[in-house]
Amino acid sequence: MKIVFLCEGNICRSPTAEAVFLSLLASSPLPKEEFVVSSRALIRETTGQGIHGKAAAVLKKHNIPLPEHKAKQLTRQEYDSADLILYMDQYNGVLLKRLFFLPKLPAKAHLLLEYAKEKRDILDPYPDGDFEKAYEDIEAGCKGLIKDFVDRLNLGICF
C-alpha cells in the first residue's frame, strides 16, 4: 500500500502526517512491510526546505520521531503509483487537479479528516501558528486511517 500525504509546501502538515502515521503504524498489528509512506508538496517553491521548526517542536512534544525531511513536490510517477493520496484541505485538492490537469479528483484521493469521520479541512498552521491544532487534526485522521486498515485486516482484505 503506497500512501502519499499532501499539503501545499510539504513543510508543516504533510510531513507531520507522515511522521504520525508511521509512529501509529509501528505500534499497530498491521504488516509494516506492506506500507510505503511519503509526504509531498503541491508547489515547488519550498523544495529542499526542512520541516518547519514549530511542526518539529510539536512532534517532539508528542514523542513522535522526527523524520529526516526535505520538501519535495509530487511527481507524476508518484501520483500514478500511489494507492492512496491524502490531502489536508480543499485547496490542496484544487492544486492537485491543477498540477496534473485532472478534470476531477481520483477515487484514491481523500481529505485526511474523512478517516476521522469529519468533512472539514486541516487548517494550514503556517499563517496563524496553531501547530498544535493541526497536529490534533492530523492525529485524528491518522488514527482513523489506521483503524480503517486494521478493520480491513480483520476482514481478511489484502493490501
Cα dihedral 106, 108, 111, 116 sign? positive
CA-to-CA distance for 117 and 149, rounded, in angstroms?
15
CA-to-CA distance for 112 and 138, rounded, in angstroms?
7
Catalytic residue (one of 40, 124, 137, 142): 124
Q: Decide if 13 is catalytic.
A: yes
Task: Please report where in the chains the cell 518539529 appears, as a residue.
Answer: 56
Catalytic residue (one of 13, 40, 89, 142): 13
Q: Decide if 130 is catalytic.
A: no
CA-to-CA distance for 10 and 99, rounded, in angstroms?
15
Q: Decide if 151 is catalytic.
A: no
Q: How many CB atoms lie within 10 A of CB 130?
A: 14
CA-to-CA distance for 37 and 73, rounded, in angstroms?
15
- What residues act catalytically? 7, 13, 124
